[in-house]
Structure 1
Amino acid sequence: MRDKSMAWLEDYVATNARVFADAGVPYVKLQDQTREAGPMAASSLAMTAALARFLRAEVPNIGLGIIVEAHDPVASLSIAHAAGADFVRLKVFVGAAMTAQGPRTGMGAKALAFRSALGRDDIAILADVHDRTAVPMSSETPEFAAEWAQKTGADGLILTGADWADSLARIRQARERGIERPILLGGSVTTGNVGEALDAANGVIVSTALMRKDADASDVLRWDLDLCRRFMDAASVTA
């Protein structure tokens, strides 16, 4: 979306955040779409921070999280700090993984140190454990990596397997290993399976299943209010 104006992007984030807020979704996550191999570019950081702060002001009745494409916990936490966001999502928090942008190593220690320096321990850190968009470069099991993430200081863990059954198995194995942090199921969640997901996990991350099927690249509104409401109704039955 780098070809869009800031005014268009402001309309985009506010319009879609209002859909989620109106449906009763408790949190929304703002993510840039800039593929970067190194630290987050200054231009990307500035734009994301400005949009996050705008979103927070325009739609104050929904929680806000930040995730950036770059392997850069300082950028994520800086944006969250400036915008008053509630959490950041960090991938490759522990261990090492090969990604489409090259190898990445655990950013947990750096993230915790910078959050402490900011004096913002209230910004929660949600750590992906063996994210399925990357390939682990070491042989530890997902539950062992989850234990690493918990010990390193993540406030919550995001587990996503190769498929639905694998995701549920990873959550079960993490609990059996003694993981006490909240666990979110990070992919393939739908209105039809959210009940099963919430029986296993403390929360879920969902996006694609709630998107408008008829939207194109020029549309500001991408998520469907009716689908979002149905999803929250299904989730509330389990809750």
Structure 2
Amino acid sequence: MTTDSVKLPRIIAAIHLLPSRESFRPDFQPLQKIIDHALIHAQIAYDGGVRAFYFQDVNDTPVGPHVAEHTVSHMTTVGQELRRAFPDVALGVCLMQNSGKESIEIAHAVGAQFVRIKVYVGAMLKAEGIVQGVAYEAIKTRHHLNAQHIKILADVYDRLGEPLAPIPLPDMCRQAVEFGRADGIILTGRTPEQSIRMFDEVKPLKLPVPLILGGGASAQAMKFFVNRADHFIVHAAFIRRGLPPRNGVPVEWDVEKVRELVALAK
């Protein structure tokens, strides 16, 4: 499975893992329950026609200054189980702690095809403080592991932060590709209208990499993006409230909602 602009499916499902003990939350979950939750949602996405998904430790907040050893360990274990269960999908890794090195290392260990990195070039002010780009670490690690097959999908101006300098969006996207050698650009505004403006600014550059909508895809909004974005990262649009748990594991996604988005993205 490769992740170039031809092979990567239109829809990429984002699997948000349950909180681990690294979250220091009173409701953290044991590793097996985290795995079961990930596998259930991966199966729902797969049954709905999705053939690409990534997993993220989204509930392990606040994040520290460095990726914890426990995070590397449990993310690797979850990834291995997902790969074993779904050998034919494009699998990806995304860490809450902005990381080039550990993201690539985990992806390499589990046989994943891509990583999502939220601050790849430049610097942003986010909840955890000033977050700097990690293009050097990512490219260096990928080279040392001889893992060129792992593609880097780079957010530019992630909506959960503010850039430290007002560099125009098209210029920063060009830097991510030309300086950082990103294999894909992820754009996400705080509203659908802002996302539309971002795509309309960047698309005329005709960058040699796919443009990906990083959030905000929905059945209602898809008509505005289907001809703007090459791929769509989806989590919230798959959610249906009130679904019964499976073997004590909470279920958020509904397969019919998945099928609807897959059909609309064609």
Instruction: Give the letter aligned to residue 19 of structure 1.
Output: I
User: What is the aligned counterpart of 1:132 among 145, 153, 159?
Assistant: 159
- Aligned residue number for residue 26 of structure 1: 51
The answer on 1:154 being equivalent to 2:182 is yes
Which structure has more relative contact order (CA 8 Å, sep 6+)? It is 2
User: What is the aligned counterpart of 1:53 among 74, 80, 91?
Assistant: 80
1:54-107 deviation per Cα after TM superposition (whole angstroms, max 9, x unaligned): 111012232211000112211111110010011000011111101100101111
Query: Alignment partner of 1:97: what SS?
Result: strand
The answer on 1:114 being equivalent to 2:141 is yes
Moved over 6 A (4+): none
| Structure 1 residues not aligned, in runs of 5+ | none
The answer on 1:89 being equivalent to 2:119 is no
Per-residue deviation, 1:215:
4.7
How many angstroms apart in 2 are the aligned matches of 1:180 and 1:198? Answer: 19
Normalised to the residue count of structure 2, the TM-score between the two structures is 0.84
- Aligned residue number for residue 232 of structure 2: 204
Query: Is the 2:36–2:249 contact (alpha carbons within 8 Å) kept by the matching residues of 1?
Result: no
The answer on 1:183 being equivalent to 2:211 is yes
1:129-182 deviation per Cα after TM superposition (whole angstroms, max 9, x unaligned): 000101100110111110110112000000112321221221121122342310
Per-residue deviation, 1:39:
1.6
Of stretches 216-225 and 193-202 in structure 1, the one that deviates more from structure 2 is: 216-225
Query: Is the 2:156–2:173 contact (alpha carbons within 8 Å) kept by the matching residues of 1?
Result: yes
User: What is the aligned counterpart of 1:7 among 21, 32, 40?
Assistant: 32
Instruction: Give the letter aligned to residue 226 of structure 2.
Output: L
Per-residue deviation, 1:123:
0.3
User: What is the aligned counterpart of 1:100 among 127, 139, 145?
Assistant: 127
Relative to total residues, which structure has the larger helix share, 1 or 2? 1
Identical aligned residues as a percent: 28
| Structure 2 residues not aligned, in runs of 5+ | 1-18, 21-27
Of stretches 209-218 and 148-157 in structure 1, the one that deviates more from structure 2 is: 209-218
Normalised to the residue count of structure 1, the TM-score between the two structures is 0.94
Per-residue deviation, 1:221:
2.2
- Aligned residue number for residue 92 of structure 2: 65
The answer on 1:234 being equivalent to 2:255 is no
Query: Is the 2:79–2:110 contact (alpha carbons within 8 Å) kept by the matching residues of 1?
Result: yes
How many angstroms apart in 1 are the aligned matches of 2:104 and 2:239? Answer: 28
Of stretches 103-112 and 128-137 in structure 1, the one that deviates more from structure 2 is: 103-112
Query: Is the 2:66–2:97 contact (alpha carbons within 8 Å) kept by the matching residues of 1?
Result: yes
User: What is the aligned counterpart of 2:71 among 44, 65, 70?
Assistant: 44
Query: Is the 2:244–2:251 contact (alpha carbons within 8 Å) kept by the matching residues of 1?
Result: no
Q: How many residue pairs get matched?
A: 236
